[in-house]
Amino acid sequence: MNKLIEFGRKALFYARVLSGYEERRIRSFRLQLENRIKQAQEKRAAVNKVPEQIILSEVRRMVEEMQALNKKLEETEAAIEEYFGPIDKQAEMIMKMQLEGEEKTMKEMMKAMQRQTLLEKEAMEKFAKVNQAGEPNQPKQSADEEKAANS
C-alpha cells in the first residue's frame, strides 16, 4: 500500500512538473522569499536610521538652544552697554579732570621747586659775598671751588 501511495505521489509530481505548475509554485515561493528579504532589509535600514535621526535631532535642538543663548547674551550685552554708557562717559570726564588737576599740581610743584632753588642760590651767593667781604686776608676762591663748596 505504501508503494502505491508513493507511486501516486511521484506520478502527481511528474504531472505537476510537466504541466508547469511546480515551476510556477517554485517561482512564487522564490518571489515571496525575495520580498520578505527586501522588507527585512528595509526594516533594518529604518532601524539603523532611527538612532542616526535621533542624534541629528538632538544636535539640531542643541544648536538651536546655543543660538538662542547667544542671541540672549548679545541682547544682554547691548542692554548693559546702553545702561552703563552715560556712566562710562561721566567716569571718563572725572578721570580727565583728575589728570588735569594732577598735571596742574605737578606744574605748580615744579615752579615752587624752581623758586626754592633760586632763593637758595641767591642766599648762598649773598653768604659767599658776606664771607668774602668779612675776611679780606684769605685768598679768593676760584669760581669752580665756590660752586663745589656750594653744592
Question: Distance between CA 67 and CA 7 in Å, rounded?
Answer: 81
Question: Distance between CA 125 and CA 131 in Å, rounded?
Answer: 10
Q: Is the pTM of this model over 0.75?
A: no
With 0-12 CB in 10 A as exposed, 13-18 as middle and 19+ as buried, what is 142?
Answer: exposed
Long-range contacts from 125-132, C-beta under 8 angstroms, 24+ separation: none
Q: Give residue-wise pLDDT tens across range 6-24.
A: 999 888 888 877 787 778 8
Q: Label residue 123 by pLDDT band (50, 70, 90).
A: very high
- The pair phi, psi for residue 20, each rounded to 5°, is 90, -5
Q: Is the pLDDT of residue 90 over 70?
A: yes
